[in-house]
Amino acid sequence: MEGFAEGIAAQPDDIRIEIVNQIMSLETESKEQKDFLLAWSDPSDADKTKKEVTQVLYSFNESTPAVKRFLNSWFSSVLNIINNHDELSRNLLSFCGSACANAHATKIFKNVFNQSEDMKDFVDRLNKELGEGDTFWSYIDESELEVTYPKCLCPLVSLGLVNQSVWCNCSLHWIKHNFEAILDKKVQVEKRTTVLHGSNSCRFKVSLS
């Protein structure tokens, strides 16, 4: 939720108001759900929103059907708006991807990179560290890599909370953030196909130069 809080706070007033109005129109079944919506009533202060949302989430049991339905509705409402604004999709989901990356993976990327002799060695080491027994990252040449996931690895998708394909831009920005963190320069990531788009796998092209 940190990425959403930071991303929504960074939007122009009209977009932020549109998102808030959509969120506040959702139906609730409990006090906790109402409190969750109220935490988003003024998202202009990202730190305040993150604190209030986190407090409410501690009271949620995310495994119950009612909570899953509610959170799915929340994500759907925000992503439906994002899906209608190309710039918003790129901007807001970049915050989500970066927040997710910083929570765990970026530190691993940096540690592996610092131990590597070159990019090919880095890719080999990264697959051993984060590949879950598979080859997620493929070395093409010094300027290009390919990322292939045999399934969607996003826990929000696995939990059934998100199913819109626009969400795949979060993964794109996760990849982008991690590689920019280790290389200290801008990289380009191209989404080729994803599971949420109907494919059997997720594939991204990473251009390093």
Does 188 lie in the same domain as 126? Answer: yes
Q: Are residues 112 and 200 in the same domain?
A: yes
- For the residues 154-181, what does the mean pLDDT come to? 92
In a domain, 129, yes or no: yes
* 137 and 64 belong to one structural domain: no
What pTM, to 2 d.p., does this model score? 0.89
Tell me if 93 is assigned to some domain: no
Same domain for 116 and 200, yes or no, is yes
Question: Which single residue is written with the structure tokens 């906790």?
Answer: 32
CATH number, domain containing residue 165: 3.30.1380.20
The DSSP string of 133-166 is TS--EEEEETTEEEEEESS---HHHHTTS---GG
> Is 50 domain-assigned?
yes
Distance in angstroms (rounded) separating the CA atoms of residues 71 and 186: 34
Assess whether 142 and 54 both reside in one domain: no
pLDDT digits (tens, 9 = 90+) for 32-47: 899 999 999 988 898 9
Give the model confidence (pLDDT) of 153-162 as tens digits: 998 998 888 9
Highest mean pLDDT among 127-131, 132-136, 177-181: 177-181
How many domains does the chain contain in total? 2
Residue 65 structural domain: 1-84
**Predicted local distance difference test score (pLDDT) of residue 140:** 95
Q: Say yes or no: 21 and 62 in one domain.
A: yes
pLDDT at 48 over 70: yes
Q: Has residue 97 been placed in a domain?
A: no
Q: Are 177 and 97 in contact (CB under 8 A)?
A: yes
* Span 142-164, average pLDDT: 91
